Every structure is written in structure tokens, then in C-alpha cells.
Amino acid sequence: MAQPLPSRKQAVDLAGGPRKLGSRILRAPPPKPEKPLSKAELREREAWVMTTGMLAVAVALMVILLAVARWGGWTPANYQVEINEQA
């Protein structure tokens, strides 16, 4: 019969009771504190937020306008575009 390979590990004493080694749960590191923004960075961020907000409102109004127009029976096919080229 084969002999087990020699091991460098110590045998564990299971009769000794629970071990008190502490938690081995890996946790995420604490968040780093944010650095304060300069006035130029704050102004640029506010400009982006304002532009994004205005675009969102414009898109929402356009969707509402098109929904109401469609509900009312309007369609762009109701109109004919005539181009008169005079040279």
C-alpha cells in the first residue's frame, strides 16, 4: 500500500475547541475621501448638468408633442412640399 507524502503542515487538534483567529472575510477597503473641487471644475460640472437637463426636457417635450399630435390624427404625410426652382 502507498504511503502518504510527507507534509510540512501541522496537524489540527479538533478537540481543542473553536479557534480565535478573527474573521477571514475579505472586505472592500473604506472609500477614499473626495477631494474638494476647484471653482473652475465646479462651474464646468454645473454647465454639463445644466446642458444635460435642458436636452432631457427638450426631448421630453418633443415626445409629448408628437404623442399628442399622433393622438389628434396629425401626421407629416398631410403636407406636400413643393419646390419651385427659378433660375
Q: Within 10 Å of residue 23's Cβ, how many Cβ atoms?
A: 6
Is residue 21 domain-resident? no
The per-residue pLDDT for 86 is 82
Range of the domain at 42: 37-74
The DSSP secondary-structure symbol of 9 reads S
pLDDT single digits (tens) 1-22: 677 777 777 776 667 666 666 6
User: Cα(25)–Cα(31) distance, rounded to whole angstroms?
Assistant: 18
User: Cα(56)–Cα(49) distance, rounded to whole angstroms?
Assistant: 10
Does residue 76 or residue 21 have the better pLDDT? 76
Is residue 52 domain-resident? yes
Strands (E), the chain: none
CA distances from 71 to 2, 40, 43, 59 (A): 85, 47, 42, 18
Number of folded domains that form the chain: 1
User: How much is the pTM?
Assistant: 0.49
Is residue 32 domain-resident? no
Across all residues in the chain, what is the average pLDDT?
84
